[in-house]
Structure 1
């Protein structure tokens, strides 16, 4: 029995959700030529295969990097390029561009219907709806537990997709049933809803999911990686935190605001339940914090709430990570000069006592590696530091340059690197370096318990409890070895002002969650690129945070001083120098002093010849983000095919008419 109308029906200019399956069974299942709806949704094994295919369409991307894991369901954009974590001018921060037409809008919404089946947001939502309706219609012989598992996963996945649409576009249509695309009159009923209605739907779906999904323990080890009750509760915290933030909440500065109260309640509920299920911060040292990212391959870690499992096989259809390839130096089997770090990220991390890295607190901007936050040493790698890999446990980083009399530049180990440090975080010393880590299977942690604690800290700060926020940030710092200090604040100081507490929360997220794909969404929800009072956006001034607009990411070279020539002048000195080992925590301070002596004797900083944030004329480029970019308008194909969907304010529609829909409301 064929159901082509069912299969190819989808409202809002998108196709069907079956695509690119790695399992032959799932390929054969489309379009129900061999498996009827009764067999698909009425037989537990077939139903679960269908659900696994939905997971596939949500999360599959071979060669992904951690910052591109769940960034958006079904899409993998490098939003890190819009943050302080990475340099380079992209379209939305390019002063020479002003994007306001439907042709300039994010295309995430979906493609037009066509002969090829596409994997788009509303097709993924449709797949979830098919599960919910199919189980009700054909699941009479399913066990109660099978029904709850299926529905729980469908509700969670549907919530995730709608939330992603909201944080890209603001208010969007809510589609909670399977729709036939030929019913154009019926489709017009699906208009852009308010953000509030969308979030209400997301929260309801997550609550339903939490009521139906098994816990991690109930799923069992063989099903590790599935969505769980714990994850649903934690995800609700993430959603409500976003809804309470300034992007969607003009009353955000009111400590009695209901949205903050709701976010606080949901986050406390999630933490309480996760604590009871054995979740928590992993480890009590920075070394253990580092090992967390690679010591739990395809198995449970108490800190991991949501995980993307990857494979270490050489099968191309299996999922692998491109992270080790991106961050490792060529001398360690990587693809280049590593993931290079803007100077601002080096200066961001606090001192060893948790205090801000300032000259008054003993910070030396040249010997930046001395007496830093323990996480610094596992987030970054720098010249003279040991950083082992599978072929050489004692390998070290040498990333400097020298210049000859004719101003030609040469680089240590021919790396060509141009930053003082490279990203080390989430590196796996056991990953197979053959073929530049092509088959790396290091798992990706999408949601960690540390993020949940920082969510809670932010909610406490925003509701007028700054001391509670400081305590929670202190918990995050304590587990990596930062000492409480005489005032017991882990270097934060006695913060009594709500705004200072919020600022401290956002800053700690930048440190703890660096390079995990979270910073862009924090910038967006707090509108940290600019202030614009005409658009009810004054958060930077209110919090005392410098807007990103009119700033730039910068870099300096580590240059061999007092030398001109072609040959590496430090070959012999390198051979006689034992790289510092950050795992040797008891001797780390004296080891960094020794490294500092080596640097002082041999190196100096040099400005880059061309700015790392450069215009087409190789002049300094400044970040220029425009107010309408925080939420995209609808792309041309969508507003043309669905003309009843109103365009957002700040964007024009397909016929150059100004948008009227307030996507933030």
Structure 2
């Protein structure tokens, strides 16, 4: 099997992987496993690592190597541990998120733990910062840049721990190997202290990072000022959100010495700080040329409908495009694309490389707006009650639904992102070299072929599949890989609109930025859509109503990218959404009248304690100052 030739885009730290792994072994060989922040007793090895620039660079890449493999379903809980996707049976790599999605996370069996790996990362970042000054064959300007990169990484690893575990110990400095046992036992600290620490560290990092990557042949994937400012905005919006800001659930959650770890009183000022951080990030990003992506590939002529689809799809799948603030290349998208992509070509049905087994749930299909730009249950022109009734596509729908094909009414008169993001029975699916259509009822070419590894809901994720993938005659699957979209400008625009609304209610500046995202999606402004088509025409005029609009806009625009999992948590809406049944069509039926029956696949359960991961008993035993996560 092949993957695309992206060698010219491969960041330098990935090309040094063998040296990187050797460095990891040297650094970690004698590390003390008991404590989070003790320098390994291998001073000679560390000194050697910082004698020359080439060796120090390997250590820099060691610090980068801990970045999450975000496209790997086995290591990123935001993909399969929530409610966006469902599977018939997980692969071994998908087993842990599958167990979390089914509610089986426990203090005895902790799936997808982020604790140890990120504290190892922090230890290595601190080693780097403590020793980089020793390197003799480097200019100070280059040292300053590397220091800023590692400070960003240090902030980011704290951020991963914070959003996963809530209050955590801050590891600002490594302790000496001569430290007493008592000094190594570090308690959790108040979440506000952790947020402030991360924010300050990101400010410090941003000051030393380059505006853009000048050497794109070797340094794509390295940190920039835009990344640092955008992640700071995300961090501060989270700090201001209901999970962390005035959450009464954690009023009694304290350290063993009685110090609280959450403030139960809501602080409106946090939204002001968050809005300012968002605006600063937007201003800087736009000043260096970051802008919403629109499709315009040379030599390719498409209709307006398909051009808009490509603008929406390629905003995530075209790596290093103009909208990307941060593409994370520390991951491969080969497997996830293969598991999302259906068998498109009836001439290649014998090829088992594509499965379509990672299936969007029906709640995701119903989440997208109508073509009038409002929710399907609000649009007074759209028949919500009869959305499962059958309807036959006419010539007018030809580029979206196969002409003459019978499918559910749910699939008609929907917004462009619905057709750009989802495949379904009867849908058209444009690839670079050919237009395909989906026929997925029993006995058709995208139907079940095996006992397992089949689509279980009737929906396929088109959005995260590159349009350049193909199966050439006589060959295996060709996958055009891309660096994972950790942060793009549309995300930042919507964070800003949210922060402004929470700060002082609906206002023109907030409408301006949400409407930028809607315009790229081919939708009217919020005011126009709700005034003319919604059963709640004044919804956008109140803080509560506009909040619902902004939240749904985020869930649609960032669908399937891993944002929903964390957004539901920070909004404290996981209790609502992850206690709903997971549903899909009756995919084993051949008759449309039976296929288009909604069936329940699983009934999820979510409790207050599930907002944060539990700690392993081993960590609690080795550090008696650590309290267990709330509810566990």
Q: What TM-score do the two structures reach when normalised by structure 2?
A: 0.75
**Alpha-carbon deviations, 1:347-377, whole Å to 9, x = none?**
1110112022136332462322222111111
2:500 match: 460
Between the aligned partners of 1:107 and 1:372, the Cα distance in structure 2 is 36
Q: SS where residue 473 of structure 1 aligns?
A: helix
Residues 349-360 of structure 1 correspond to what in structure 2 (within 5 A)?
349-358=368-377, 360=380
8 Å CA contact 1:11–1:180 kept in 2: the answer is no
Mapped partners of 1:329, 1:418: distance in 2: 12
Partner of 1:108: 113
Alpha carbons of structure 1 residues 107 and 8: separation in structure 2 relative to 1, 3 Å: farther
Aligned ranges for residues 443-458 of structure 1 at < 5 Å?
A: 443-458=483-498
Q: 1:292 aligns with which of 293, 298, 315?
A: 315
Maintained 8 Å contact 2:152/2:228 = yes
- Is residue 373 of structure 1 aligned with residue 415 of structure 2? yes
Separation (CA, whole Å) in 2 of partners of 1:478 and 1:451: 15
Q: Distance in 2 between matches of 1:357 and 1:554?
A: 17
C-alpha distance 232-436 of structure 1, shift in aligned 2 (>3 A) = farther
Cα deviation code 1:366-408 (max 9, x no counterpart): 3222221111111001233332557x62332111127xxxxxx
1:402-430: per-residue Cα shift (whole Å, max 9, x none)?
7xxxxxxx876554644332111121132
> Cα distance 1:76–1:486, how it changes in 2: closer, same or farther (>3 A)?
closer
Structure 1 residues 53 and 144: CA distance shift in structure 2, 3 A: same
Partner of 1:158: 154
1:249 to 241, 245, 253: 245
1:288 to 1:93, Cα distance in 2 relative to 1, 3 A: closer
| Cα distance in 2 for residues equivalent to 1:605 and 1:634 | 44
Provide the rounded CA distance (Å) in 2 between the counterparts of 1:632 and 1:557: 34
Of stretches 642-651 and 230-239 in structure 1, the one that deviates more from structure 2 is 642-651
Deviation string 1:202-227 (CA, Å, 9 cap, x unpaired) is: 11111111011112144555311111
Matches within 5 A, 1:480-491: 480-484=521-525, 487=528
The runs of 5 or more residues in structure 2 that have no matched partner are 1-22, 89-96, 248-262, 296-307, 346-350, 388-407
The answer as to 2:616 corresponding to 1:548 is no
Matched, 1:261 2:272: yes
Residue deviations 1:18-68 (CA, integer Å, cap 9, x gap) = 9xxxxxxxxxxx9788xx54453343232222211221232458xx44x67
Q: Does 1:276 align with 2:287?
A: yes
Distance in 2 separating the partners of 1:355 and 1:639: 49
Match of 1:524 among 536, 560, 569: 569
Q: Among 199, 205, 208, which residue is 2:204 paired with?
A: 208
Mapped partners of 1:37, 1:255: distance in 2: 46
CA distance in 1, matches of 2:548, 2:271: 16
The structural deviation recorded for 1:145 is 1.7
Equivalent position to 1:426, from 452, 464, 469: 464
What is the alpha-carbon distance in structure 2 between the residues aligned to residue 462 and residue 399 of structure 1? 44
Contact 2:441–2:595 (CA under 8 A) maintained in structure 1: no
Cα distance, 1:497 vs. partner?
1.3
Q: Which runs of structure 2 are paired with 1:553-564 in the superposition (5 Å)?
A: 553-557=582-586
The question of 1:348 aligning with 2:367 is answered yes
2:559 aligned residue: 514
User: 2:597 is matched with which residue: 575, 595, 607?
Assistant: 607
Task: Describe the shift of the 1:157–1:549 C-alpha distance in structure 2 as closer, same or farther (beyond 3 A).
Answer: closer
1:473 to 495, 500, 514: 514
Shift of 1:644: 2.2
Distance 1:210 1:376, change over 3 A: same
Provide the rounded CA distance (Å) in 2 between the counterparts of 1:273 and 1:215. 8
Residue equivalent to 2:616: 635
Unaligned ranges ≥5, structure 1: 19-29, 69-74, 112-119, 311-317, 403-409, 531-546, 564-601, 614-620, 652-665
CA distance in 2, matches of 1:387, 1:488: 28
Equivalent-residue separation in structure 1 for 2:411 and 2:121 (angstroms): 46
In 2, Cα distance between the equivalents of 1:212 and 1:647? 37
Aligned: 1:122 with 2:122? no
- For residue 158 of structure 1, report the CA deviation from its aligned partner: 0.6
How far residue 189 of structure 1 moved from its aligned partner, in angstroms, is 5.2
* Inter-CA distance 329–94: structure 2 relative to 1 (3 Å threshold): closer
Distance across 2 between alignment mates of 1:238 and 1:78: 16
Matched, 1:8 2:39: no
Tell me: CA distance 1:228–1:329, structure 2 relative to 1, closer, same or farther (3 Å): same
For 2:206, what is the secondary structure of its paired residue? helix
TM-score by length of structure 1 reads 0.72
SS at match of 2:586: strand
Q: CA deviation at 1:341?
A: 2.6
Alignment of 1:126-145 (within 5 A): 126-136=123-133, 138-139=134-135, 141-145=137-141
Say which SS state the counterpart of residue 620 (structure 2) adopts.
helix
Change (3 A) 1:5 1:604: closer
TM-aligned CA distance change 1:510 to 1:456, over 3 Å: same
Q: What RMSD over aligned residues (CA atoms) do the two structures have, in Å?
A: 3.6
Instruction: Select 1:238's aligned residue among 228, 234, 241.
Output: 234
Query: 1:188 offset after TM fit, Å?
Result: 3.8
Q: 1:86 to 1:53 in 2, by over 3 A?
A: same
User: Shift in Å at residue 496 of structure 1?
Assistant: 1.8
Q: Which residue among 315, 328, 331 is the counterpart of 2:341? A: 328
Query: How many correspondences in the alignment?
Result: 534
**Partner of residue 56, structure 1:** 65
In the TM superposition, what is the alpha-carbon distance from 1:526 to its structure 2 partner?
1.4
1:13/1:110 contact within 8 Å kept? no
C-alpha separation between the residues in 1 aligned to 2:54 and 2:573? Answer: 48
Cα distance change on mapping 1:7 and 1:187 into 2, 3 Å: farther
CA distance in 2, matches of 1:549, 1:76: 18
- Whether the 8 Å CA contact 1:375–1:480 is kept in 2: the answer is yes
Aligned residue in 1 for 2:321: 301
Alpha-carbon deviations, 1:485-535, whole Å to 9, x = none? 8837797855121122222121111100000011110111111133xxxxx
Q: How far off is 1:110 after superposition? A: 4.2
CA contact (8 A) 2:466 2:481 kept: no
Q: Does 1:194 align with 2:190?
A: yes
Q: Identify the residue that residue 173 of structure 2 maps to in structure 1.
A: 177
| Equivalent residue, structure 2, for 1:80 | 80
Deviation of 1:456 after TM superposition, in Å, equals 0.3
Correspondence 1:397 to 2:397: no
